[in-house]
Amino acid sequence: MRGKISSLASIAALLAGCATAPRESVQTSGALPAQARFGFASFDAGEPDALRNRIGACLAAHGLTQASDPAYLVQIALSDHPARTQAIDPTQPAPKKQGGKRHDVTLVVTLSEVASGREVWRTSATRRGEATGAALADAACAAMTPAAG
């Protein structure tokens, strides 16, 4: 009986750890170029001007300058997607929904060289549940490392 209790306690501790997983994660790769000129790529992606302005201000705070003749292009992608997916057997009834819709909101910002197209820097901020592009932009900005001199 004692073995069953400690096993159950171990499982409960593991599940508690899963339940308290961070709601937000930020991943960054590459390095911001020092004192570089940047511009925003326009693919009619529909990102709000406020989001572009916030990202632009953050890059400027790290030593980059927005210019009409950029050496680097900034691309922004904002997505809202289900946190979990599952395969559905079309021959079976649809599964019952379990509570509210759980979803992840992700903001990806990349910086690419105009001359070569090579991506030099990328950051991705993801938050589970309700999130705005502005909140994710702040998280991505906080993860930026200053441009090297």
Tell me which of 6-15, 33-42, 73-82 is least confident: 6-15
Q: What is the 3-state secondary structure (H, E, C) of 69-128?
A: CCCEEEEEEEEEEECCCCCCCCCCCCCCCCCCCCEEEEEEEEEEECCCCCEEEEEEEEEE
User: What pLDDT is attached to residue 131?
Assistant: 65
CA distances from 115 to 60, 73, 96 (A): 21, 10, 52
pLDDT confidence of residue 21: 46
What's the pTM?
Answer: 0.67
Q: Are the C-beta atoms of 24 and 127 separated by less than 8 Å?
A: yes
AA letter at 16: A
List pLDDT tens digits, range 4-14: 544 444 444 44
